[in-house]
Amino acid sequence: MVKIFVCTALLLLAAPANAMHISEGILPLPWAVAWFAVVVPFVVFGIRQLLTLAREDLSVKPLVVLTAAVVFIISCISLPVPTAGTCSHLCGTGMAAILLGPWISALIASLALLPQALLFSHGGLSTLGANIFSMGVIGSIAGYLTFKGLRTMGVQLGPAAFFAGLQANWATYLVTSAQLASGTRGDEPFLALLEKIMLAFVPTQLPLGILEGIITAGMALLLYRKRPDILVRMRVVDAGEVKREGKGKTAKDKGRTGKIG
């Protein structure tokens, strides 16, 4: 009875709320369909990669489920940007991409965004493709490349994860701004409208991007302290690095590494 009451209350509260991500009906139908067509290959490839990794390491599926839950929760926390027809919010795809690679992270974003659109009016079904592309595809790729690039240059885990989360967040909203400008501009020049939308996001997205960087770094460092074996299996850190830091034994089966990228 309590669960039914809570679910009913959430659904009722969601109806008049400012929809986050790109709201239902904001994009014209041709643009909405086009974004669906663009994201399908990424999601399909993410599913194939997940199945491949799961065959090699049974612990991958629980990790994906846990990561999807984290992405779902933190991307539900939003600040409305009424002048842009959307909201600013944390994404979580930076951490997902660090752990599981950008393609599985795109799949995770899809799993997080679909129930938000169906149950909480956060975003919309017609704009789901656009939202997956900006947050799941571009955000994940930006976070992953930033992290890998910084680690290749010798940057420590914490700072590299911070900038990965930051770039994943800001890249998401740069693309969201472009999607809104291209799909809603009418007779107004694209660049002029893009500038207006980006400026509308700055007051909320600037601090939220920094906050996401801090959260991403904190999660990465927490895993490094508590479960370094997960980071080793996912090839986030080297086993030798963990041993040098005195973190003890890694995974019992060191042969199960999981291929990312």
Q: In terms of residue numbers, what domain contains 102? A: 2-244
154 falls within a domain? yes
167 falls within a domain? yes
48, 51, 99, 138 from 55: Cα distances, Å: 11, 6, 17, 27
Three-state secondary structure call for residue 178: helix
Distance CA 125, CA 105 (A): 20
Distance CA 135, CA 106 (A): 8
Domain count within the chain: 1
257 falls within a domain? no
The partner residues of 89 in beta bridges, in order of sequence, read: 78
Distance CA 86, CA 13 (A): 18
23, 61, 221, 260 from 231: Cα distances, Å: 36, 15, 10, 12
Distance CA 8, CA 242 (A): 47
pTM over 0.85: no
pLDDT at position 192: 87
**Could you list the mean pLDDT of each consecutive 10-residue stretch along the chain, which spans 261 residues?**
39 40 82 94 95 88 92 80 64 94 95 87 84 95 97 95 96 90 77 86 84 94 92 86 63 42 38
175 falls within a domain? yes
255 falls within a domain? no
Domain holding 79: CATH number? 1.10.1760.20
Three-state secondary structure call for residue 86: strand
